[in-house]
């Protein structure tokens, strides 16, 4: 798994362009910190040799004071570098997270069908988090650690070439041994990330279906699959962590051996009178100082490999494009009414399995089209085509006479409201649930719309009014939730409404509220209602009956009612709710 330096550079340049000053400061601070790490032991070495050589007290006190100042400054630099690197890391990864969420939202529905929500969370958060170190200070700190090592060797080689050579040999040996141990760890951590993604995919999918799982008593089966996944995960995780542990043991072993070497060499050279006691101290101190950058470099190499895997996955995701091209330029205007036409439209989700075939109809501005048909005949699919979640395989869809592909996608989505049967509530206040977090809608308008849509009693019982927090999947009856979606739509003020009527039977009072709300809502707007109720069919101007994706009957409702042999009359005589629900 490799990436070119150019790719790393491009990513860093893109996401760090707003952090140039912070990066520059961080590089300075880390450089300063390296200098101090090298200087401090030299001061102590000077102090030790100074005592031995009976240097004036003044010089020794100066060295001691300098040591204290340097140590204090080092702590301040450590705080500043932590602050800066955290800041850079969070800012850049948050920008990347935002870009990924934005990109995912632009993808077509097929993508969401194929990727469970948990997997997306892991992609957007897990992979991006793995890049935190990469962005925060990886390359600067990497360069600094190399510099620190080179600095140590140069200072020692200057004082004694033999000691410089011994340190260099030790580092070469350490890197080659660690490199081998590391490879194992990277492979094992890669496998661990893969199964982690799978686990979160599983979790997200099953949490979404908690109600169905409980109702159908499938809890134990799901738990068994959950345990199976955990059982697979355990050895992989253990292996990954053991290989991390192996690196730690190797490193400790290397430094244990190194310590022996340094003590022996230092003792021998001092005994022979080749070096001073201060230099022996410097050797020992520098050797201990090496452990940190060596360990950090090892970790950083591993971080680069982990980051590489994440960058590749992120790139793959960002490369995906929506099959729905948003390159239209025509506008739908702000005020015009909206009309819709289907012209010989055919569509299939999967090749060779047609879902809609040759659908043709017109929906004039301000008119209501009722769509009827058995389950699975393609009603929802037709609605999805209107809002351009999918593209027809053949035929054309027109809005106000303009081809759908030529119109700006944002205009389509703004002008059309699609109310599905499933009411989704956010864990948020009533206000946010209604406005979709748009702070520009005044409370008075929200409250008056709530009352207008028949939810006055419900609203008056809310303890904290619009600030009351709703919980997804609870706190509202299905009738109330449906009315709430109508409030949402009314406030959006769309020009075409598609309403997939809930097939669940509502009590007569709620049904009457819903009827009234609907009348208010659709007044003056074009409307497609996937009808499940007789009362809805009665308000339609035109009726389209689908059967296995084909048009079984289409025409003006009144004309169809006059025709005794029409399919509509047949449906009505059986009772539409009985036939379609």
Ligand X SMILES: Nc1ncnc2c1ncn2[C@@H]1O[C@H](COP(=O)(O)OP(=O)(O)OP(=O)(O)O)[C@@H](O)[C@H]1O
Give the footprint of ligand X on this chain (CB under 6 A).
113, 349, 355, 373, 375-381
Query: Alpha carbon of 527 to those of 58, 442, 450: distances in Å?
Result: 93, 26, 21
| Shortest separation between residue 421's beta carbon and ligand X, angstroms | 7
The DSSP bridge partners found for residue 347 are 356
The nearest distance, CB 376 to ligand X, in angstroms, is 4
Q: Which is nearer to ligand X, 293 or 378 (CB)?
A: 378
Give the nearest distance from C-beta 381 to ligand X in angstroms. 3
**CB 469, CB 429: distance < 8 Å:** yes
In the sheet that holds 356-363, the strands lie side by side as: 356-363, 340-347, 394-399, 402-403
Please, which residue, 380 or 415, has the CB nearer to ligand X?
Answer: 380
What minimum distance in Å lies between the beta carbon of 580 and ligand X?
Answer: 8
Question: Least Å distance between CB 498 and ligand X?
Answer: 12
Residue 163 CA to residue 579 CA, distance in Å, equals 92
Spatial separation of the C-alpha atoms in residues 262 and 288, rounded to whole Å: 10
Pick 127 or 501: Cβ nearer ligand X: 501
Residues 241 and 188: their CA atoms lie apart, in Å, by: 8
Measured from the CB atom, is 381 or 400 closer to ligand X?
381
Which one, 382 or 447, has the nearer CB to ligand X? 382
Please spell the DSSP secondary structure of 351-401, one letter per residue. TTB-SEEEEEEEE-TT-EEEEEE-TTSSHHHHHHHHTTSS--SEEEEEETT
Sign of CA dihedral 447, 448, 454, 460: positive
Choice between 469 and 506, CB closer to ligand X: 506
Q: Which residues fall within 8 angstroms of residue 264, CB to CB, at 6 or more apart?
A: none
Secondary-structure breakdown of the chain: helix, strand, coil percentages, each rounded to the nearest 5: 65, 10, 20
By beta-carbon proximity to ligand X, the closer residue of 302 and 579 is 579
Q: Which is nearer to ligand X, 381 or 449 (CB)?
A: 381
Structure token digits, residue 128: 């991006």
Q: Which one, 111 or 263, has the nearer CB to ligand X?
A: 111
The structure tokens 């709430």 sit at 484
Nearest CB to ligand X, comparing residues 108 and 432 = 108
The strand pairing partners of 346, in sequence order, are 394
For the bound state, the minimum distance from the C-beta of residue 531 to ligand X, rounded and expressed in Å, comes to 11
- Which C-beta is closer to ligand X: that of 9 or that of 376? 376
DSSP string, 531-544: --SHHHHHH-SEEE
Give me the least distance between CB of 218 and ligand X, in Å please. Answer: 21
Residue 112 or 175: the one with the smaller Cβ distance to ligand X is 112
Closest contact distance (angstroms) between CB of 349 and ligand X is 3
CB atoms near residue 113 (< 10 Å): 9
Task: Decide whether 130 or 527 has the Cβ nearer to ligand X.
Answer: 527
d(CA 513, CA 495) in angstroms, rounded, equals 22
Length of the chain: 581
Token pair in block for residue 59: 């010089």
In this complex, which beta carbon is closest to ligand X, that of residue 113 or of residue 463?
A: 113
Strand order in the sheet with 368-373: 416-419, 496-500, 526-530, 368-373, 542-547, 550-556
- CA dist., res. 534 & res. 575, Å (int): 8
Beta strands in 485-558 (DSSP E): 496-500, 526-530, 542-547, 550-556
DSSP assignment letter at 126: I
Three-state SS at 525: coil
For 260, the enclosing helix (H) or strand (E) is: helix 219-271
Close Cβ partners of 146 (under 8 Å, ≥ 6 residues apart): 293, 297
The separation between CA 517 and the C-alpha centre of its own chain, rounded to angstroms, equals 37
Quote the least distance from Cβ 379 to ligand X, whole Å: 4
Question: Smallest gap, in angstroms, from Cβ of residue 354 to ligand X?
Answer: 9
Q: CA-to-CA distance for 276 and 280, rounded, in angstroms?
A: 7
**Distance in Å, CB of 108 to ligand X, minimum:** 11
């Amino acid at each position: 798994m490799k990436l070119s330096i150019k790719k790393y550079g491009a990513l860093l340049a893109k996401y760090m362009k707003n952090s140039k000053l912070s990066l520059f400061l961080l590089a300075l601070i880390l450089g300063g910190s390296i200098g101090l790490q090298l200087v401090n032991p030299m001061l102590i070495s000077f102090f030790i040799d100074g005592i031995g050589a009976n240097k004036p007290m003044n010089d020794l006190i100066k060295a001691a004071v300098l040591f204290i100042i340097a140590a204090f400054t080092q702590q301040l630099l450590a705080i500043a570098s932590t602050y800066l690197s955290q800041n850079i890391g969070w800012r850049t990864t948050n920008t990347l997270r935002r870009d990924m969420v934005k990109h995912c939202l632009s993808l077509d529905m097929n993508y969401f069908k194929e990727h469970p929500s948990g997997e997306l969370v892991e992609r957007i958060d897990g992979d991006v988090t793995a890049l935190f170190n990469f962005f925060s200070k990886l390359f600067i700190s990497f360069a600094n650690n190399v510099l620190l090592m080179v600095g140590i060797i140069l200072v020692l080689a200057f004082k004694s070439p033999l000691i410089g050579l011994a340190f260099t040999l030790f580092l070469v040996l350490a890197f080659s041994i660690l490199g081998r141990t590391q490879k194992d760890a990277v492979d094992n951590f890669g496998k661990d990330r893969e199964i982690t993604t799978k686990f979160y995919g599983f979790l997200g999918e099953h949490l979404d279906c908690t109600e169905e799982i409980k109702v159908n008593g499938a809890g134990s089966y799901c738990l068994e699959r959950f345990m199976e996944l955990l059982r697979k995960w355990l050895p992989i995780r253990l292996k990954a962590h053991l290989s991390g542990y192996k690196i730690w043991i190797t490193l400790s072993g290397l430094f244990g051996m190194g310590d022996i070497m340094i003590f022996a060499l230092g003792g021998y050279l001092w005994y022979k009178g080749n070096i001073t006691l201060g230099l022996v101290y410097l050797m020992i101190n520098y050797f201990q100082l090496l452990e940190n950058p060596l360990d950090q470099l090892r970790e950083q190499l591993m971080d680069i490999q982990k980051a590489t895997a994440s960058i590749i996955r992120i790139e793959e995701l960002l490369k995906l494009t929506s099959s729905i091209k948003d390159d239209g330029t025509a506008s739908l205007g702000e005020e015009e009414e909206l009309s819709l036409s289907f012209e010989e439209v055919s569509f299939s989700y999967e090749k060779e399995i047609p879902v809609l075939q040759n659908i043709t109809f017109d929906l004039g501005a301000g008119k209501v089209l009722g769509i009827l048909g058995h389950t699975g005949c393609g009603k929802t699919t037709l609605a999805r085509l209107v809002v351009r979640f999918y593209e027809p395989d053949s035929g054309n869809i027109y809005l106000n006479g303009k081809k759908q592909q030529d119109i700006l996608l944002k205009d389509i989505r703004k002008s059309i409201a699609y109310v599905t049967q499933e009411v989704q509530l956010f864990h948020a206040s009533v206000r946010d649930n209604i406005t979709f977090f748009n702070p520009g809608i005044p409370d008075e308008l929200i409250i008056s719309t709530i009352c207008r849509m028949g939810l006055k009693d419900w609203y008056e019982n809310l303890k904290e009014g619009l600030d009351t927090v709703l919980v997804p999947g609870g706190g509202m009856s299905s009738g109330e939730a449906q009315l709430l979606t109508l409030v949402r739509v009314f406030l959006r003020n769309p020009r075409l409404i598609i309403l997939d009527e809930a097939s669940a039977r509502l009590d007569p009072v709620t049904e009457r509220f819903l009827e009234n709300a609907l009348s208010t809502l659709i007044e003056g707007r074009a409307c497609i209602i996937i009808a499940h109720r007789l009362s809805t069919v009665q308000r339609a101007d035109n009726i389209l009956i689908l059967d296995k994706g084909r048009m079984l009957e289409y025409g003006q409702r009144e004309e169809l009612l006059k025709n005794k042999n029409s399919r509509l009359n047949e449906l009505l005589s059986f009772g539409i709710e009985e036939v379609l629900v």
